[in-house]
Structure 1
Amino acid sequence: MLTIIKIKQRLIILSLMMIFAQSTLKAQTSQPTWWFGLSGAANFNFYDGTTQRLNNALFVPTAFHKGDGIKPFGSFLMEYRPGPVWGAMLNIGYDGRGGKFDGVIAPCDCPATLETDLSYITIEPNLRLGSATSNFYFFAGPRVAFNLDKNFEYTQEKQPDTDGEFSAIRKTILSGQVGMGYDIPLSPATSASKVVLSPFVSYHPYFGQDSRTIESWSVSTLRTGVALKFGKGKAVPAIVEVPVVDVPLADVTFSVRAPKSVPIERQVSETLPLRNSIFFDESSSEIPNRYVLLSKSQASDFKEVQLENVQTVTMNGRSARQLNVYHNILNITGDRMRSNPGTIISLSGASMKGAQEGKAFAESVKYYLVDRFGIDASRISTEGRIKPLIPSEQPGGKKELTLLREGDRRVDILSGSPELLMEVGGGMMKPVSINAVQVDPMDSHVVFNVGGAKDLLRTWSLDITNNMGNTQHFGPYTRDIVSIPGKDILGNSADGNYKVVMTGVNKKGITTTKESSVYLVRQTETVEKGYRFSILFDFDKSRTIDSYEKFLVDVVSPLITDGSKVIIHGHTDIIGSEDYNATLSESRAAQTQKIIEGALNNAGKKNVTFETIGYGEDLDRSPFENNLPEERFYNRTVIIDIVPVK
């Protein structure tokens, strides 16, 4: 087995060397339209989920979860290539998905193992995307697999070894794959008979690969191997090479949008969403002390309205305000249930250590509400789970699991009572309204737009020079749109004319510059009262904006008057890549604008301007820190500022 693996590794390394070399053969015969051949590969299989009932006769005492293994793959193949770019591929063959689960300890304090020879007959049609100038190609398509073997071997130290067949195995699996390869010609360029050796690699994610109709055994596979292909070409006239002429790179555009005046503070009526979760610390079922826990006498005097005028001045006055409200979630829930005797709630606790600990989390919350606020225990039900109803960690996930699991160790408050869950959408609890002073409001920012920067530039920066010749440097940046607070540019000045020079470096290292100018004046008179709303998203979700449509149409849009300015900015937490999070936040913000614009058009409101930006995980712009799970949950947000016409 080791020798086979080493041979395959050498073939993969050889193919990668050929890819990086980018050596393109100038064939003197046409490439075949049809190819036929064989392929062989190693399937690197990775298991996840829960497997405990092996068949109707064997329910093992300790569940198996993760595992891995290397099994063979072999197929007959056919390719159709009508041109150098698009084509189709078909593989029919044997597909080994077996492996060995990670060992566990049975209740008898003895090791137990589980190994399987799971295999399929597979049919894999793929779309092929190649190139006219390279032998490198990509492919993707579905996989239809028919179960062939489902044997297992279970061992436990203090009982006889058990061989058998899994029950409830799916007879047919419908999944998918994506991969890449490189064609290495083995025949002379002048020969009409073509022979090609193609190292390839493909990835089969866990989607659709639940092996059984019970439990949750899913399989992800990385396949590496080689294919040998044969085809018949035709003689063609010699090709005369034409010198390649470099085409100049497309240029970026540069524009500056500045407020007519720079407000330093604004009175704002802020609607804060209330996340319906209490997050628990590792190895403790006690409610963390960062949550505001009252004595019985304090609870008897507590009213939710007391939180409406709490003032803090950090992170634009927003982060600390909202977290202070959120950390009173138990007291808000107790006050609402006390004021509305007909309401009931369900507490769903989740812990990776087991449903029993999740249940203990939920019971801690229930005890607090019953003991401090005098809520009848019959109005509160509890349950324990391994994962919450909407988990952050998904099957097959490999990255940043510590942060994801911190977010899944929690109690969710569920209720069908409208006094607790208003029609905000997204499963959030009824929000809390706060009258606050907004420091450095979003409409005081100067917006710089470098169109095409993300695609054409490595980085860009700004040099902003005042009338006295003093220059401030900002950057470097990589995204297209950046906003800078007007007060940062003004400093101690009341107003000023500024020259703005944008300097960018493109992908070839060539520098390009663009110039503009801007006039700023500090606003000294009292600014008009504005409105701020927030909507929250679950992990990695952008389409849940649909669940907020009623809230945006019925609550937010009516407050937008003719001539108002609406500033929409999207944010994410720090989980995931920076580029992905930037795109995700832009998608969330853009969908929010689309819904609001539609509501305004239906209402006949005109002259409303939008400023919509996705900041991704930008730490300088994040509403919250990312140290606590609740902070990361609140950073998955779109914030809407409504600035009325002056």
Structure 2
Amino acid sequence: MTHIHLSTNKILIVMLSFLLIGFTTNAQTIKRVQPSWWFGESGAANFNNYRGTTQMLNQNLLVPTAFHKGSSIKPYASLLAEYRPGKILGGMLNVAFDNRGGAFDAVVAPCNCPANLSTKLSYITIEPSLRIAPFASAFYVFAGPTIAINLSKEFTYMQEKQTEIHADFNDIRKTMFGAQAGLGVDIPLSAKASPTQMTLSPFASFQTDLFDQPRTVETWAIYTIRAGIALKFGSKKVAVLAPLPGISKPDTITNTVTNTITVNNNTIQFSVRAPKVVPLNRRVKETFPLRNSVFFDINSSNIPNRYVYLTPSQAITFKESNLQNAQPENLNTGRSARQLMVYHNILNIIGDRLRNSTQSTIILVGSSDNNPTEGKLMAENVKEYLVSNFGINSPRITTEGRGKPIIPSEQPGATKDLVLLREGDRRVDIMSNSPELLLQVGGENSDFFKPVQISAVQQDPLDSHVILSVDGASDQLKVWSVDITDEQGIEQHYGPYITDQASIPGKTILGSNQQGNYKVVMTGETKTGQIIMKESTVSLIKMDDPKQEGLRYSILFDFDKYKTIDSYTKFLTEIVTPLIPENGTVIIHGHTDIIGDEKYNHTLSHNRANQTRQIIEKASTIGGKKGITFEVIGYGKDASRSPFENNLPEERFYNRTVIIDIIPSK
């Protein structure tokens, strides 16, 4: 007879393999229906290992030589139940047929005769366990006691030249208590949105022999390595909305499909805005605002080297207009090297404007960590650059030193993100009352300098995105996600989301396809655990029209402010609105920096964008413009959608913005 022994190394390999599967499953981001109760069955192989000593098999049989070690592979089968009220903690219960039978290693009797002993030991086992998913994923570990009720205690003893003996052990414990620990992973088999979920769950466990001594006499003990698989079923009530009609009008630029559902007497409205035509690129003329601050590094009063430094000879030939078309073409809804390059020329732009407008004057206000003296030095260094390199007369530039800027980012009592806030307050602000340096932004008292005009090719424009709106999501839903399926059944998953809006680039959905029809399923989980769903359809087609040209304007905000939009009313009313064509589209998207709570920043960016829309919409109505479509999106501090990175203070300041894209009707 072949006996099987599992070494410690083999046990470790088995357990590490399950850990690897668990981490791999955790990398998936699919949002599934998550029932609280699961039921099913499992099957496994018991790798039983015997140790200790047994020799007196019963009152009638004392074998001549004691047996010590043994092993076997025997079946295990259970009915199971699991309770998972959350993503991490839960409970398990298995009621199982547990075969602990096996064969001892052969021994040699005094007669020089080989002898063998095997047993059909088996139990009904009750196994309650604590279940923990430490990474809130499909991987889990479990541990708990075991209660085994004996079913069979039969043995077979064989000795050469003697008749086999079939009998029962005596002194077998009727009830045996033990302990186990194990790990497993749940592999989903059902569709993510299905109200009935089915999982296949490989698992491995270890049953200790610390208490597993089947007899009240002698020292025979059993430990078991178990490896198997479980099939589990769970169900959760799902509220489903009827499918909605898809987009079919070929002459429509955008279409919105809306439906509502009531959850706990509160209305949640789902809507999908999909472009009929997905533009890949668009030429854009951008009016880029010039932030009137130079930010200094901590513990340095020198102008940082990221700002473009020109020698006097280079400054002679510098012109602001050179920046319009000379930068890299990276004008998209994500990172923008072009605009940052324009900003980092701020001292050269100011020098050029002062040189061209000989009567203009400026005030440099330096602020430095409650150190006005250092703030004054920072301002003097900026003045020295303009005087020495651009030849500006010294009396035209006044300098001041302050401990904090006139409009600081750090507020009294602030305790969070102080390093980032203080980086933003260490700066030289450039002030002026000279209209030649300003645009009509907020009138004569505006602090904002005239924007720079730049042109580029905008990649992945916002009107090519599918916009998903879930009005009420932030208040009523824990999370929501979207599954988009094409006509071949290929599914794409997006999410999870926690805010009221999300957008997906149309070209990302299309991939390599020129056009396609898609089913959109939005699935949300309410804060009470109810699953709600909504279906719609969209049709998309790619288009590349190099002749189409759009306009872009940006307005900036101070930290944690949105009502400063009032200072832009004149600019939005008299400069921006007249340029909107009839039947055109205006996309207004708000952003914040990374400082602060995600939900708060999302609301702040949405308020900024909505106020901008109200001003433009009112001016459009007064001006008699017709057929204008407005789309308002608040991205908050979403780093994947912010115009700039958030590494430098100037990038964070530029992310406190509302961007206005004007798209012609064609």
TM-score tier by shorter-chain length is 0.5 to 0.7
Letter aligned with residue 356 of structure 1: T
Q: Match for 1:423 among 432, 440, 461? A: 440
- Greater mean alpha carbon deviation, residues 564-573 or residues 389-398: 389-398
- Are 2:388 and 1:374 aligned? no
Could you tell me how far 1:353 is from its partner in structure 2? 4.6
SS of equivalent residue, structure 2 residue 270? strand
Could you tell me how far 1:310 is from its partner in structure 2? 2.8
Gaps of 5+ in 2: 1-262
CA change 1:469–1:416 in 2 (3 A) is: same
Indicate conservation of the 8 Å contact 2:372/2:403, yes or no.
yes
Q: How many angstroms apart in 2 are the aligned matches of 1:410 and 1:385?
A: 10
SS of equivalent residue, structure 1 residue 533? strand
Letter aligned with residue 454 of structure 2: I
Letter aligned with residue 286 of structure 1: N
- Are 2:535 and 1:515 aligned? yes
Q: Match for 1:306 among 322, 341, 347? A: 322
Q: Match for 1:344 among 361, 370, 374? A: 361
Q: How many angstroms apart in 1 are the aligned matches of 2:547 and 2:535?
A: 32
Q: How do 1:281-296 residues align onto structure 2 when only pairs under 5 Å count?
A: 281-296=297-312
Q: How do 1:9-48 residues align onto structure 2 when only pairs under 5 Å count?
A: none
- Are 2:632 and 1:612 aligned? yes
Q: Match for 2:283 among 255, 259, 267? A: 267
1:316 match: 332
Q: How many angstroms apart in 2 are the aligned matches of 1:248 and 1:534?
A: 40
- Are 2:458 and 1:438 aligned? yes
Q: How many angstroms apart in 1 are the aligned matches of 2:318 and 2:547?
A: 33
1:87 match: none
Could you tell me how far 1:252 is from its partner in structure 2? 3.0
Q: How many angstroms apart in 2 are the aligned matches of 1:622 and 1:355?
A: 33
Q: Match for 1:594 among 614, 622, 631? A: 614
Q: How many angstroms apart in 1 are the aligned matches of 2:331 and 2:523?
A: 29
Could you tell me how far 1:542 is from its partner in structure 2? 0.6
Letter aligned with residue 357 of structure 1: E
2:582 match: 562
1:233-285: per-residue Cα shift (whole Å, max 9, x none)? Answer: xxxxxxxxxxxxxx956463322111120001001110000000000001111
Q: How do 1:459-608 residues align onto structure 2 when only pairs under 5 Å count?
A: 459-608=479-628
Q: How many angstroms apart in 1 are the aligned matches of 2:516 and 2:417?
A: 46
SS of equivalent residue, structure 2 residue 575? helix
1:66 match: none
1:344-402: per-residue Cα shift (whole Å, max 9, x none)? Answer: 11100000151110001000000000111011111111011101111111122222111
CA change 1:332–1:305 in 2 (3 A) is: same
Q: How do 1:375-390 residues align onto structure 2 when only pairs under 5 Å count?
A: 375-390=392-407
Letter aligned with residue 290 of structure 1: R
Q: Match for 2:350 among 321, 333, 351? A: 333
Indicate conservation of the 8 Å contact 1:315/1:624, yes or no.
no
Indicate conservation of the 8 Å contact 2:330/2:457, yes or no.
no
Indicate conservation of the 8 Å contact 1:315/1:623, yes or no.
no
Could you tell me how far 1:510 is from its partner in structure 2? 2.3
- Are 2:478 and 1:458 aligned? yes
Aligned-residue RMSD, C-alpha? 1.4
1:296-335: per-residue Cα shift (whole Å, max 9, x none)? Answer: 1111110000000134244717621111100000000000
Indicate conservation of the 8 Å contact 2:365/2:400, yes or no.
yes
Q: Match for 1:632 among 630, 633, 652? A: 652
1:166-185: per-residue Cα shift (whole Å, max 9, x none)? Answer: xxxxxxxxxxxxxxxxxxxx
Q: Normalising by structure 1, what TM-score? A: 0.61
SS of equivalent residue, structure 1 residue 357? helix
Q: Match for 2:409 among 370, 377, 392? A: 392
1:414 match: 431
Query: Identity of counterpart residues, as a percentage?
Result: 62
Letter aligned with residue 660 of structure 2: I
Gaps of 5+ in 1: 1-246
1:49-95: per-residue Cα shift (whole Å, max 9, x none)? Answer: xxxxxxxxxxxxxxxxxxxxxxxxxxxxxxxxxxxxxxxxxxxxxxx
Task: Say how many residue pairs are matched.
Answer: 400
Q: Normalising by structure 2, what TM-score? A: 0.59
Letter aligned with residue 279 of structure 1: F
Q: How many angstroms apart in 2 are the aligned matches of 1:575 and 1:248?
A: 33
Q: How many angstroms apart in 2 are the aligned matches of 1:480 and 1:422?
A: 35
Could you tell me how far 1:480 is from its partner in structure 2? 1.6
Could you tell me how far 1:565 is from its partner in structure 2? 0.3
SS of equivalent residue, structure 2 residue 289? strand
Q: How many angstroms apart in 1 are the aligned matches of 2:566 and 2:391?
A: 38
Q: How do 1:207-222 residues align onto structure 2 when only pairs under 5 Å count?
A: none
2:419 match: 402
Could you tell me how far 1:512 is from its partner in structure 2? 1.8
1:400-445: per-residue Cα shift (whole Å, max 9, x none)? Answer: 1111111110000011111112222352111000111111111111
1:643 match: 663
SS of equivalent residue, structure 1 residue 541? coil
Indicate conservation of the 8 Å contact 1:593/1:612, yes or no.
yes
Indicate conservation of the 8 Å contact 2:432/2:447, yes or no.
no
Larger radius of gyration: 2
Q: How many angstroms apart in 2 are the aligned matches of 1:457 and 1:475?
A: 13
- Greater mean alpha carbon deviation, residues 304-313 or residues 457-466: 304-313
Q: How many angstroms apart in 1 are the aligned matches of 2:435 and 2:547?
A: 35
Q: How do 1:65-214 residues align onto structure 2 when only pairs under 5 Å count?
A: none
Q: How many angstroms apart in 2 are the aligned matches of 1:525 and 1:358?
A: 51
